């Protein structure tokens, strides 16, 4: 049994919300108790809400599960691409979470013909954008204004104060949806073209006409 399969089986055992001893799970899976101890340590380190210790037992608190679903081939490829993008990014917490998610998905989906367990692609644009992603995510969550230096497609550099609203994927590049104070309107910035970024320490209040829902409405076809 592959380790990913065994970890998946352990989660299935724990899903009933009851306390399970390592010896019981070892017998069910045909492995040693020490193997169960190591596997449980792996699950805990991955962020699974498992509690317990050697000699006592293990229990899954507040498990997070998704309903059964059928994915198309294209949907599986999109899932692989997205998880790899995050797993190879520079945000350590999200990278660990993405790799844990990859193992869970790989255990219940067929491997692609190439044998690449879950992942699909990365590009130079992704690598350049990855270093800025944690700061941008933090600013979006805290509603902090950012100052950026941006290179447009013609190679011209400009300096902007923006209100970051959302990260989006367009093709194979990450973009930042934002309200640009300089232009007084919504803009979408390719993150790999941002050459400098810093927080201002200033938060921006909610303002009608300048929010993410307004951006979505403005960018909708026919708007």
pLDDT band for 164, please (50, 70, 90 cuts).
very high
Rounded Cα distance, 186 and 188, in Å: 7
The model's pLDDT over 89-124, given as tens digits with 9 standing for 90+, comes to 667 777 777 777 777 776 666 555 444 444 433 455
- pTM exceeding 0.75: no
47 within 8 A of 97, measured Cβ to Cβ: yes
In 10 A of CB 54, how many CB atoms? 14
Burial of 80 (0-12, 13-18, 19+ CB in 10 A): buried
Residue 132's nearest CA partner among 175, 163, 99, 102 is 175
100 within 8 A of 46, measured Cβ to Cβ: yes
Per-residue pLDDT, 109: 63
Residue 150's nearest CA partner among 198, 117, 108, 113 is 198
């Amino acid at each position: 049994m592959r380790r990913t399969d065994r970890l998946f089986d352990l989660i299935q055992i724990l899903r009933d919300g009851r306390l399970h001893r390592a010896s019981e799970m070892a017998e069910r899976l045909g492995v040693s108790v020490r193997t169960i101890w190591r596997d449980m340590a792996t699950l805990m380190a991955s962020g699974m809400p498992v509690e317990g210790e050697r000699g006592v037992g293990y229990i899954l608190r507040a498990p997070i599960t998704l309903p059964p679903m059928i994915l198309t081939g294209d949907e599986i490829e999109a899932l692989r691409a997205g998880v790899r993008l995050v797993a190879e990014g520079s945000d350590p917490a999200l990278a660990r979470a993405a790799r844990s998610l990859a193992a869970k998905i790989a255990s219940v989906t067929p491997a692609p013909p190439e044998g690449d367990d879950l992942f699909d692609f990365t590009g130079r644009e992704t690598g350049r954008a990855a270093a800025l992603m944690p700061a941008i995510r933090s600013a979006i969550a805290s509603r902090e204004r950012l100052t950026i230096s941006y290179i447009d497609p013609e190679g011209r550099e400009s300096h902007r104060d923006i209100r970051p609203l959302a990260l989006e994927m367009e093709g194979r590049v990450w973009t930042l949806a934002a309200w640009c104070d300089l232009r007084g309107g919504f803009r979408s910035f390719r993150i790999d073209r941002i050459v400098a970024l810093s927080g201002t320490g200033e938060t921006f209040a909610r303002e009608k006409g300048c929010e993410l829902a307004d951006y979505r409405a403005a960018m909708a076809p026919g708007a």
